Amino acid sequence: MTVAKTVHDYLEARDLPESVLQHVHTSNSSETAEAAHVPGRQLAKGVVLTTQDDYHLLVVIPTHRRLALEKVSEAYGGHLQLAEEPELKSLFPDCELGAVPALGMAYRLPTYIDEALFDQGEVYFEGGDHESLVRMSGEEFAALFDESAVGDFSR
């Protein structure tokens, strides 16, 4: 598997070239950054949260930082918790379990993005499997999130 069809179609509809970086199979974003020789500050990690009403949203943060759940909850205006792994398969049906792309909007999920990712010249994110990353300029990446909530959501 390479880039998930949903991710591919979303980027293609926005005339963004799909540049893919292959790496050995990894099981988490820190391993991915190391295997792909990508600084953690440039690797965007998607974290799925569940609302008190059982809706979902995606928070995108740099891999080298941790999610600040209280900051996202405050921005959202309600209680949030980490989604359970079985929920991910139904939210991202064309992706391997745990390989959550940073493009929540491609999957019709409200998306919150950490502003630290907008300071990068290049940004990478999971393509839908555990062996490839999508690479794009920081400017192109930032443009994808013009309708997303932007803030300080990590520490």
Q: What is the pLDDT of residues 115-138, one digit of tens each?
A: 999 999 999 999 999 999 999 999
Range of the domain at 41: 5-151
pLDDT digits (tens, 9 = 90+) for 39-60: 999 999 999 999 999 999 999 9
What lies within 8 Å, CB to CB, of 54 at 6+ separation is none
CA separation for the pair 82, 67 (Å, rounded): 10
- Given a cut of 70, whether residue 65 has pLDDT beyond it is yes
User: What is the number of domains present in the chain?
Assistant: 1
CATH of the domain at 94: 3.90.960.10
User: What was the pLDDT predicted at 2?
Assistant: 81
User: What was the pLDDT predicted at 36?
Assistant: 96
Quote the Cα angle for 102-68-3, to 5°. Answer: 10
Reference 116, options 12, 39, 19; nearest CA is 39
- Given a cut of 70, whether residue 141 has pLDDT beyond it is yes
The residue count for the chain? 155
Reference 81, options 64, 65, 67; nearest CA is 67
Question: What are the helix (H) ranges across 24-137?
Answer: 29-36, 69-76, 85-91
Average pLDDT over residues 88-101: 95
What lies within 8 Å, CB to CB, of 82 at 6+ separation is 47, 48, 49, 50, 69
Average pLDDT over residues 3-25: 94
- Find the helix or strand (DSSP H, E) in which 74 lies: helix 69-76
User: What was the pLDDT predicted at 6?
Assistant: 97
Average pLDDT, the chain: 95
